[in-house]
Amino acid sequence: MLAQSAPPPCPADLPVDDIIAEIHKQQSKKKHRNSNPLPDSMCVGALCLGGPRTPPTVPEPVPPRPAPRAETTRDQDATSSSDSSSKGPQSPRKTSKEQCDERAASVLEAANDIEVGDYYFSEKKNYQAAYQRYHDALEAKPGDIAIHVRLGRVLEKLNQVPQAIEQYRTAQKLAGPQKWSDEAKAALLRLEHPPGM
């Protein structure tokens, strides 16, 4: 009897910052090969999101208090609505590679949302636009500590301290790079125990 090996890890499970770093690495290589600074596709491992990248657009302003949403990904929403409406025979189960490929496409979009959100946050000081991009990224990758910390930062800038605290607390419960855990911890100490209290 042959022992089954564990399936290879899915690149979509990498921390979002690792995915962004890999994208930058590939963009840098392509930039040296041709003069087009925008890549034709973005890849992480063997998973690629094709098509030319377009400059970001400014999203609509977000309401001061976002409505709570069930934690599902964009792909799950689309799948559940199409599955419930079809009365035909069930489609065959997807392989782990197919599932990984679907998640990777969503996660690559999340990485793009993070980069655009970081640009709005740091360069443009457009905190509402940054919030929207981070929120979109969270839908695709809800268990990523870096996204929760980024949301906490932007919610602080939007003077939504209770919601920021909630994001930092969620971040503290997640695994990931230590720098994000440390930032969440420091933010919670600062927000929950301000000086002079």
Model confidence pLDDT, tens digit, residues 13-23: 889 999 899 88
So what's the pLDDT on residue 188? 97
Give the residue from 36, 16, 18 showing the smallest Cα distance to 27.
36
Q: What is the mean pLDDT of the segment spanning 26-53?
A: 59
Q: What is the mean pLDDT of the segment spanning 49-63?
A: 48
What are 48's strand-pairing partners?
43
The torsion angles phi and psi of 59, rounded to 5 degrees, stand at: -75, 165
Give the pair of three-digit tokens for residue 184: 């969440």
Measured distance CA(149)–CA(153) in Å, rounded: 6
C-alpha R_g of the chain: 19
Run of H or E residues at 99: helix 96-119
Give the pair of three-digit tokens for residue 45: 């491992």
Q: Which domains does the chain have, with CATH numbers?
A: 11-51+96-192 (1.25.40.10)
Please give the model's pTM, rounded to 2 decimal places.
Answer: 0.67
Would the pLDDT of 164 be above 90?
yes
The torsion angles phi and psi of 178, rounded to 5 degrees, stand at: -60, -35
